[in-house]
Amino acid sequence: MKRKRLDRDLGWGFQGFPYYQFRLDCSDFRGLVSMIDILSGEPHFWDFEKAGKAPVSGAGMKWLQLVPDGKSRLITAMYKPDGRLSVCYIDVIERLEFDSDGVAAYVDKYLDVVFTPEGDSGILDRDELNDALSNGDITEKQHSEAVKEGNEIYARMCRRIPETEKRLGRIYEKVLKMARNGEITPLRTKYK
């Protein structure tokens, strides 16, 4: 299993952007929240059947990341510069950890769920999960837990995409308001 930091400092090139991380307890969400404010960069797109070319990064986008209490998932809602949701990508995770600089990291459990507001949805990387089991990288129990979590995510988030999008939007607006009001500040104070 791979370990990845929520500030996405490896591979995505986000290490130069403001990164917020804090705990949130409200009616829509309880757990760890992070947000990456992507200040610059060329847009990158993922292709979907219904949404077409959906932006996932680029100048003006924001990534809202949520790790709900009691769940084994990392929800990444990718917002366009106009504030509309572009793509939601949910990683099934083994656990959450914290590095010495305070940044959260997760241990990825291979299986992922994705959806777009236009109605694209699916469970991804089952082959990677099955290969990890075959290679002995995960146990039967970890495999079973990942499948169960992936199915629950799909059932709760992808079968009622408009409701999920609205709930995520309320959390996103709350986080933006907290940042504007100075209630939360970035963990990073210097940007490239």
DSSP structure string for 79-110: E-TTS-EEEEEEEEEEEEEE-TTS-EEEEEEE
What CATH number does the domain containing 95 carry? 2.40.380
Q: Which helix (H) or strand (E) holds 4?
A: strand 3-5
Residue 1 confidence (pLDDT): 87
The pLDDT score that the predictor gives to residue 72 is: 97
% of the chain beyond a pLDDT of 70: 94
Instruction: Please write the tens of the pLDDT for every residue from 115-140.
Output: 999 999 999 999 999 999 999 999 99
Q: Based on the structure, what is the number of domains in the chain?
A: 1
Query: Domain for residue 112, yes or no?
Result: yes
pLDDT in tens, 32-91: 999 999 998 899 999 999 999 999 999 999 999 999 999 999 999 999 999 999 999 999
pLDDT at 137: 95
Instruction: Examine residue 186 and state whether it is found in any structural domain, yes or no.
Output: no
Q: Identify whether 138 is part of a domain.
A: yes
Percent of the chain whose predicted confidence (pLDDT) is above 90: 85
Residue 189 belongs to a domain: no
- Quote the strand ranges of 16-174, DSSP E: 19-25, 30-37, 44-48, 52-57, 62-68, 73-79, 85-98, 104-115, 121-124
Residue 179, pLDDT > 50, answer: yes
pTM of the model: 0.94
pLDDT at position 8 over 90: no
Q: Which structural domain range is residue 8 located in?
A: 3-180
* Non-local CB neighbours of 138 within 8 Å, separated by 6+ positions: 1, 109, 110, 129, 132, 146
**What pLDDT score was predicted for residue 7?**
85
Between helix 140-153 and helix 126-134 the angle, nearest 10°, is 170
Task: Answer whether residue 191 is part of any domain.
Answer: no
